Structure 1
């Protein structure tokens, strides 16, 4: 029975992977690549290469949806052909009947996690680099212009609010030296400093910044200049974080969990609560996404085993509705997590938890 149901689940699953990933990559990448070929002169061979590199991102998104489609189509077909009635007449429980679907969804969960950690981030980054090289705008391994860093501290009125502690701006960066720097320092109570410098480098031995050809303006609380100091070379004890941030150009879709965690550590040094929440939510999403396969497998199987006579087209339509509802809820909770209404953990896991509760409820109802 297990081998038979597993065979029945396999074909719809691969059909779903092909269908959903084709739809996703057509909307998310193919149309844009065609536009690049026709308008920007992107070579067709490079467009095909970029297309192949973007494919893992959409395949991994198709895994949960394909799990839902395959379980719903398979068990609906078994129910329509009265095969489930025969199995239950032999004393086989509903929970035992859907066991192959749960095992399949767990295997797909592991496969999704491997894709998200080992394949998809590297492929996305390589696709971005390949496209930029082809368009003569190769992205260096660091941010070249407008390095902007804000560091926050608790408000002086002892409230939960944050206030700006230090603002760091560099007009240009060549990988070693920053040029055209302006630093606003509000870290000392009642005394503000403005540092303007032509260039600055980081001294790894002393863990300090070396500023060259600049001026330090010390501003009194009443807004007047208390002191002005010009210098040729000045060491300043400022955080290294701007250099670390300038050295990273990947976005969250191009990072695995370890890389995203390192990025979160950098952002935490700034004290920017909104950015911290955003990265915490993104990391939790990377953990939560694979387990959607288990939720969809349980929900699809529980709906499919109910006595009914539905076509494959109906199963496909119901799957689309469930998928749309789940990802809409996920989008809403993630937005709530980023603004602080929900914790990052709850924002990422709430749709999965609600889906699990719905799956268990449907299973118990179908078992009666």
Structure 2
């Protein structure tokens, strides 16, 4: 009997969840597409492609809200047909009901984690390639990289200029400094002429950078043996400025969860402040935790299954107000974490922890109703 009732509950919940997702995706799609069409002179094909590549970002916000509304609407449907009170009359306890709801919450949580850790980074990479190759209008709103680099998670970051290649491990924005740098200089005939290694390359002014603790190999294009020179400090002229590396951070969003974690470990070893990147990592994990919590927020009807004694309108208002307050507070905490004003883990997990506390208080209040 319990298996049949659990299937009934899951069926209603999943149906409501899919319906909520479709409605929210439809609303977001209409709003984005109409705003882009009205704002710019571009083809409908470009607008649709840009929206598709941006949609995974919106799904990260749609899934938690859909999970909460799925609980709200599925319980209301069961309540209107008197099925909810019948379920409990058959001996299906509230504890068993929450256990069934937990399976649904775990499913949405894993879906959210997969979307933020795999699908969204893939969409970000595809969007960047599209902006480089086409998407002329959208390039005005999404700045193309000044320095075109490889992914930060695949080892060292590489870029090419007119007379040299540069490879480095990380860029410290606070100090305007490149770490673990190798410069490969080549001549007009594209033959390698000089290689310079340096622990740090710090911006001075104009196009002047200061190389610290390194070595240079000269005359590599000649048939004779090259000469080397060790240095503690040495000035070099690079065509880039710190602002040219601003788009390096945009590549962080293209990293999967594992690669992002490895990248954070790497820059920590170099002594670079990784708080901003840790906030991104914890946010991906916290968003999955939120999907695990939200389905239980709107479960008040479980403790009051009689449809005459509960108000669906009040529940809807509560869900809307709660969602608005949650995302405002969560966004504020993320901003504080990114600006190094709060520890990343504490800032990102504070609001989900508050939601867990609310659920514990709700369960404690109704502890006598089994």
TM-score by length of 2: 0.66
CA shift, 1:357, in A, is 1.9
Return closer, same or farther for 1:130/1:80 CA change in 2, 3 Å cut-off: same
Name the structure 2 match of 1:10: 14
Of the three residues 19, 29, 33, the one matched with 1:30 is: 33
Return closer, same or farther for 1:197/1:61 CA change in 2, 3 Å cut-off: closer
RMSD, matched Cα: 4.4
Contact map agreement 2:282 2:348 (CA 8 A) in 1: yes
Partners of 2:75 and 2:68 in 1: how far apart?
11
Name the structure 1 match of 2:104: 104
Contact map agreement 1:17 1:63 (CA 8 A) in 2: yes
Name the structure 1 match of 2:330: 330
Of the three residues 141, 144, 149, the one matched with 2:148 is: 141
Question: Counterparts of 1:1-368 in structure 2 under 5 Å?
Answer: 1-27=5-31, 29-31=32-34, 33-35=36-38, 38-39=40-41, 42-136=42-136, 139=145, 141-142=148-149, 150=172, 167=177, 208=215, 236=231, 248=248, 250-265=250-265, 267-268=267-268, 271=271, 273=273, 276-302=274-300, 305-307=303-305, 308-311=309-312, 315-367=315-367, 368=369
Contact map agreement 1:150 1:270 (CA 8 A) in 2: no
Partners of 2:233 and 2:16 in 1: how far apart?
58
Name the structure 2 match of 1:161: none
Partners of 2:343 and 2:204 in 1: how far apart?
37
Unmatched tracts of structure 2, length 5 or more: 150-158, 162-167, 187-197, 220-227, 235-239
The alignment partner of 1:92 has SS state of coil
Partners of 1:306 and 1:238 in 2: how far apart?
74
Return closer, same or farther for 1:258/1:97 CA change in 2, 3 Å cut-off: closer
CA shift, 1:23, in A, is 3.5
Partners of 1:92 and 1:3 in 2: how far apart?
12
Name the structure 1 match of 2:237: none
Partners of 1:70 and 1:45 in 2: how far apart?
33
Contact map agreement 1:71 1:304 (CA 8 A) in 2: no
CA shift, 1:126, in A, is 1.1
Partners of 2:230 and 2:36 in 1: how far apart?
48
How many residues end up aligned between the 2 structures?
305
Return closer, same or farther for 1:310/1:104 CA change in 2, 3 Å cut-off: same
Partners of 1:332 and 1:47 in 2: how far apart?
30
TM-score by length of 1: 0.67
Contact map agreement 1:53 1:126 (CA 8 A) in 2: yes
Partners of 2:172 and 2:14 in 1: how far apart?
51
Name the structure 2 match of 1:159: none
CA shift, 1:120, in A, is 1.2
Contact map agreement 2:203 2:209 (CA 8 A) in 1: no
